[in-house]
Structure 1
Amino acid sequence: MKPLLRTANPLWGIAALNVALHLAFYQNLEYHRDELLYFSQGLHLDWGYASVPPLTGWLAGLVGATLGYSVWAVKLLPALGSGAMVLLVAAISHELGGRNYAQILAGIGVVITPLMLRAFFLFQPVYLDMCFWTLLFYWLVRFLDAASDKYLYAMGITLGLGLLNKYLVALWAVSVLLAFLLTKERQVFARKPLYLAFLVSLLVFLPNIIWQILHDFPVLEHMAALNDSQLVHVSRAGFLADQLLMGYAVLALLGPGLYFLLRSPKYRSVGLAVIFTIGLLFLLRGKSYYTAGVFPVLLAAGAVFWENVLKKPFGKVLLPALMILSILPLLPLGLPIYDAEGMIGYFDRLDKNYGIDEGRRFEDGTIHSLPQDYADMLGWDELTRIVQRAYQQTGNKENVLIYCENYGHAGAVTIIGKKYGLPEPMCFSESFLYWAPDLLDHEIQEFIYVNDELGEDLQRGFADIKEIGRIQNVHAREYGTRVYLCRKPRGDLMAFLKGRIAEETPF
């Protein structure tokens, strides 16, 4: 790393540019649904949550406690991660034999990869997952260079930390071990440090395993629900097409990068690990972006390939120039560079003029005016203001309970509601169900209900129900979500709620 930082000073400028780029447009849309969830988790620190390990929630708690809950604060860590990614990918390029040009070309590739533009704009486990995968590949390359046991231990620690962020990183270990079996690196299986390194990973990851056991393995339930609601809509042809779209401007690096790795006797296992990762996800119908972890190492290797091929200055300038020019028309696919109306107009023109609708296809296969991530960044302020209006109309605030049907609603009331003095809501979606019991420490007489419709059980349960408002933004994914104020319960509301909690939290 030291030669990289000493000789390739332009990389620091590229890294800073990437950070600035990801912070420049934070005000164009609102919080993302998942960001509201993770910052809600940050208020209830634990060793695990319903669908994710604890690290994202821990970091959200740290940001909230130090910088607050503004949209800018939420976007800061992913943006800083984008700068670190530039330096890390350049470091891999350096380890693969790349000199200054390769390192700078790799850094530029990080900035303009559509997949990374989106990943490092959102506070989700994805951006950290990419960082962990990239660091693991860095240690792997160092190990292949030096065959030193210390890099096995470095991989073990990094893998354990990565598992505390996102379980998907386990696929990296599986793919690398399969690659080792097919190359001369198979001799590592006879070495004790390999197994000690895995033991280190297990020890780092152990607190989350214990948490899963104590909570009846919610990750299995989450994976089953994910498969039934989303992965069934993943087509293998679409999966492959999305790889091209997610790479787009840097395809000139990705393909040659894989070729460079497979052609190299020393680094062939890295290339095979990439193939195994993509192949396994293809067979298992994983989401397209699950391959994100292999993009950085391919960028690094592709940059070395072109440094070896391009000899004249004209070619060395032309390649990154063409890559940059190619991404400019499609930049909104990665970043919301316009406000909501501007983004809607952009995607409408993209569809009408070029027949491109992939960006607007939701996980359920339906087409909308905006991509799902962008549609998930609209309507939350509006919803929270409606809830506030309902809360203002209640009597004794100590006898009021806000109930939200999904974690997006609950996250909005929890995080955005801070500026309105709203109490935390009850919700049985996602991790909110774990702290739902804490909200029944007082008598409930008035009930604020947030959902897209009013169920029959609620209509029977209250004598006075009034709709306060609904989300009017037709482009928001939560368009039509309503807020009701329910008074005069007809039965024992506390018993009903405690019964629901007992059903939802059997652990």
Structure 2
Amino acid sequence: MATTTRIVPGSSQSPPAAIPLLNRRTLLALCVGVGVVLLALSGRHGYHVDELYNRATREHLAWGYVDQPPLVSLMARVETTVLGDTLTALRVVPALLACVVVWVAALIARELGGRGGAQLFAAAGAGASVVTLNAGHVLTTNIPDLVAWVTVGWLVIRLLRTQDTRLWIAVGAVTGVGLLAKNLIVLLLLALLVGVLAMGPRAVLRSRHLWAGAALATLISAPAVWWQVTHGWPAMEMSAALKTALGEDSRVAFIPFQVLMIGLFLTPVWIAGVVALLRRTQWRAFRSVGLSYLFMAVLLIAIGGKPEYTGGLQLVLLSAGSVVVVEWANTTVRRTLAGTALVGNAVMSAVLMLPVLPVALYGSNPVLKGLGVFQMDQAAWPQLAEQVGTVNRSLSPPDRAHAVIYANHYGLAGALDRYGPEHGLPHVYSGQNSYADFGRPADDTDVVIAVGVNRRTFGVLFRSCEPSGKFRTDLPVADQNTEFLVCRGPLEPWSQLWPKLTWIGFSCPYTAEAITARSEKGCSLT
């Protein structure tokens, strides 16, 4: 039985021998530096729209949700319970996991034969990349998913170098945990499988350890998968909604996003990693990793998937490219160029992904306004709650005593849930994704403050719906000019009305058709 196969040393296919790890104090200092920067900036601007949702799901722990597995909600629950219900507390674990990404990047360079300089450059490059700072700044499914991707990449490269197929068990364990955060890691495994089948060494697939790893991944992720099964596979509906929302935009944006995910200045480095993995004789055992990226790129273009799905694998390629760049940088001029690219990428990534500048500047500067969308997704939530509070106070005391709030999407609902109590707001409901499962208004609820819905189509469900202002802010946030309505007298009991208001997707225009059936909501990204 094929279990552990060794490549004969000295052959043309011999992988590089193990290299000592970079001085651990130096590497630890770099990782801590990234974490300190992330935590120092964690309290600026505000909650990201997805963080508001994850903050809400922590109060409704389950083995799954319509739009994501359970791990991030559990992380939010633990963080806020131990550290308090604050923005910084919610971002502690993401910052720590970003440090893990930086450390593993150095390990990948080491497996490919990179010595101290290459390992240091790989770790610094990972910490200076857009994808790491994006994921490490906010609590979303992206950060545990990113850790899973780079860790699986490291383990597979180590497996290919050593031919120790027992590492499949570790791959299975990481994959199982990754599946509790996000389903995307399946895409990485598919790409790596195609790469190994096409480029070899295929012997690593003929191992009982591979099946043991697959069984372990299945066992760890089984509760989340079972939740999907028992709830009718809402993840499939989410996937379809995403594809409809993106349309052709994902294909058009694919190349720009490949540059953006790591950063403009380090793009040549990860591209060099792809080329070297495919062409270097001493890296012949790792050709499958280079091919896996090409396969993934073609597949995403073909199916219209999100171009940023390649980000985790690009970090693996960045580590490979770091070995190439450090070998190339054998003169003062070349070392200066490499260092300048690293620093330039760090500055660019920090400006785009971290709140290093005043939020008003991101909204007013012509360049930052287009590139700093991530910052706008974290802005103006307290002002929203304050203005909805004004609407609530305008109601008569009897109406105010029995009113509820219905928010169009989970970001609005999460913001009003977070900041509403200080403005005396009533309970907040939303029909989007799993927020719809967190409760509905009681059947005797007669007054609703509706936020972000379409008056013409939402109003047909009530005896009256009167406008009560709009969300006003100087920042170009997505919900700017969102309308507030005060609706009275639902035409049906809420138990019958609620299914017409629930939907799966990314935003909902409340078209007339959207109200008729859940499967025809017409919801799409706006």
State if a TM-score over 0.5 links the two structures.
Answer: yes
Are the aligned partners of 1:8 and 1:103 in contact in 2 as well (CA < 8 Å)? Answer: no
**Structure-2 residue corresponding to 1:343:** 362
Segment of structure 1 superposing worse, 87-96 or 496-505:
496-505
AA matched with 1:94: R
Q: Secondary structure at the match of 1:250?
A: helix
Question: In the TM superposition, what are the counterparts of 1:87-236 in structure 2 within 5 Å?
Answer: 87-236=103-252
CA distance in 2, matches of 1:211, 1:464: 38
User: What is the aligned length?
Assistant: 483
Are the aligned partners of 2:70 and 2:180 in contact in 1 as well (CA < 8 Å)? Answer: yes
**Structure-2 residue corresponding to 1:436:** 439
Distance change in 2, residues 1:269/1:435 (3 Å): same
User: Could you tell me which of 408, 415, 425 is aligned with 2:411?
Assistant: 408
Q: CA deviation at 1:473?
A: 3.5
User: Could you tell me which of 55, 68, 76 is aligned with 2:71?
Assistant: 55
Are the aligned partners of 2:31 and 2:100 in contact in 1 as well (CA < 8 Å)? Answer: yes
Deviation track 1:296-333 (CA, whole Å, cap 9, x = no partner) reads 21121112123333334664454223431355367423
Q: CA deviation at 1:483?
A: 2.6
AA matched with 2:294: I
**Structure-1 residue corresponding to 2:497:** 497
Q: Secondary structure at the match of 1:471?
A: coil
Q: CA deviation at 1:343?
A: 1.6
Deviation track 1:223-242 (CA, whole Å, cap 9, x = no partner) reads 11111112432234x31122
1:245 paired to 2:264: no
Q: Secondary structure at the match of 2:468?
A: strand
Distance change in 2, residues 1:436/1:253 (3 Å): same
CA distance in 1, matches of 2:200, 2:129: 33
Distance change in 2, residues 1:177/1:103 (3 Å): same
1:67 paired to 2:83: yes
CA distance in 1, matches of 2:108, 2:159: 12
Distance change in 2, residues 1:140/1:67 (3 Å): same
User: Could you tell me which of 312, 316, 320 is aligned with 1:297?
Assistant: 316
Segment of structure 1 superposing worse, 277-286 or 206-215:
277-286
1:445 paired to 2:458: no
TM-score, normalization by structure 1: 0.86
**Structure-2 residue corresponding to 1:20:** 36
Are the aligned partners of 2:277 and 2:286 in contact in 1 as well (CA < 8 Å)? Answer: yes
Q: CA deviation at 1:469?
A: 5.0
Gaps in structure 2 of 5+ consecutive residues: 1-17, 503-516, 520-526
AA matched with 1:455: R
Question: In the TM superposition, what are the counterparts of 1:418-497 in structure 2 within 5 Å?
Answer: 418-420=421-423, 422-437=425-440, 439-440=441-442, 443-455=444-456, 458=459, 461-462=462-463, 465=466, 467=468, 469-487=470-488, 489=489, 491=491, 493-494=493-494, 496-497=496-497
Distance change in 2, residues 1:490/1:428 (3 Å): closer
Are the aligned partners of 2:31 and 2:103 in contact in 1 as well (CA < 8 Å)? Answer: yes
**Structure-1 residue corresponding to 2:307:** 288
Are the aligned partners of 1:379 and 1:478 in contact in 2 as well (CA < 8 Å)? Answer: no
Distance change in 2, residues 1:196/1:460 (3 Å): closer
Distance change in 2, residues 1:120/1:460 (3 Å): closer
**Structure-2 residue corresponding to 1:380:** 381
CA distance in 1, matches of 2:446, 2:333: 75
AA matched with 1:258: V
Are the aligned partners of 1:136 and 1:158 in contact in 2 as well (CA < 8 Å)? Answer: yes
Gaps in structure 1 of 5+ consecutive residues: 351-358, 361-369
Segment of structure 1 superposing worse, 449-458 or 309-318:
309-318
Q: CA deviation at 1:155?
A: 0.4
Distance change in 2, residues 1:9/1:456 (3 Å): closer
**Structure-2 residue corresponding to 1:333:** 352
Q: CA deviation at 1:105?
A: 0.7
CA distance in 1, matches of 2:349, 2:149: 26
Q: CA deviation at 1:243?
A: 1.1
AA matched with 1:251: T
Distance change in 2, residues 1:460/1:145 (3 Å): closer
Are the aligned partners of 1:336 and 1:343 in contact in 2 as well (CA < 8 Å)? Answer: no
Distance change in 2, residues 1:183/1:2 (3 Å): closer
Are the aligned partners of 1:231 and 1:286 in contact in 2 as well (CA < 8 Å)? Answer: no
Deviation track 1:204-231 (CA, whole Å, cap 9, x = no partner) reads 1111121111111111111111111124
Q: CA deviation at 1:391?
A: 3.9
Are the aligned partners of 1:38 and 1:124 in contact in 2 as well (CA < 8 Å)? Answer: yes
CA distance in 1, matches of 2:456, 2:305: 34
CA distance in 1, matches of 2:221, 2:298: 26
Deviation track 1:110-134 (CA, whole Å, cap 9, x = no partner) reads 1222333223222221122111100
Are the aligned partners of 2:243 and 2:305 in contact in 1 as well (CA < 8 Å)? Answer: no
Q: Secondary structure at the match of 1:280?
A: helix
CA distance in 2, matches of 1:310, 1:86: 22
AA matched with 1:403: Y
Deviation track 1:402-444 (CA, whole Å, cap 9, x = no partner) reads 211111111112223354464542211121111224x43x732
CA distance in 2, matches of 1:36, 1:345: 25
Are the aligned partners of 2:350 and 2:356 in contact in 1 as well (CA < 8 Å)? Answer: yes
Distance change in 2, residues 1:56/1:394 (3 Å): farther
Distance change in 2, residues 1:123/1:457 (3 Å): closer
Q: CA deviation at 1:80?
A: 2.0
CA distance in 2, matches of 1:51, 1:329: 31
The RMSD of aligned alpha carbons is 2.9
Q: Secondary structure at the match of 2:480?
A: coil
Q: Secondary structure at the match of 1:135?
A: helix
Are the aligned partners of 1:379 and 1:479 in contact in 2 as well (CA < 8 Å)? Answer: no
Among all aligned residue pairs of Structure 1 and Structure 2, give the percentage whose two residues are the same amino acid.
Answer: 26
CA distance in 2, matches of 1:434, 1:452: 19
1:267 paired to 2:286: yes
Are the aligned partners of 1:28 and 1:338 in contact in 2 as well (CA < 8 Å)? Answer: no
1:277 paired to 2:292: no
Q: Secondary structure at the match of 1:235?
A: helix
AA matched with 1:425: V
Distance change in 2, residues 1:271/1:329 (3 Å): closer
Are the aligned partners of 1:257 and 1:305 in contact in 2 as well (CA < 8 Å)? Answer: yes
Are the aligned partners of 2:118 and 2:323 in contact in 1 as well (CA < 8 Å)? Answer: yes
TM-score, normalization by structure 2: 0.84
Distance change in 2, residues 1:421/1:2 (3 Å): farther
Distance change in 2, residues 1:308/1:495 (3 Å): closer
AA matched with 1:4: L
Distance change in 2, residues 1:453/1:470 (3 Å): farther
CA distance in 1, matches of 2:425, 2:166: 51
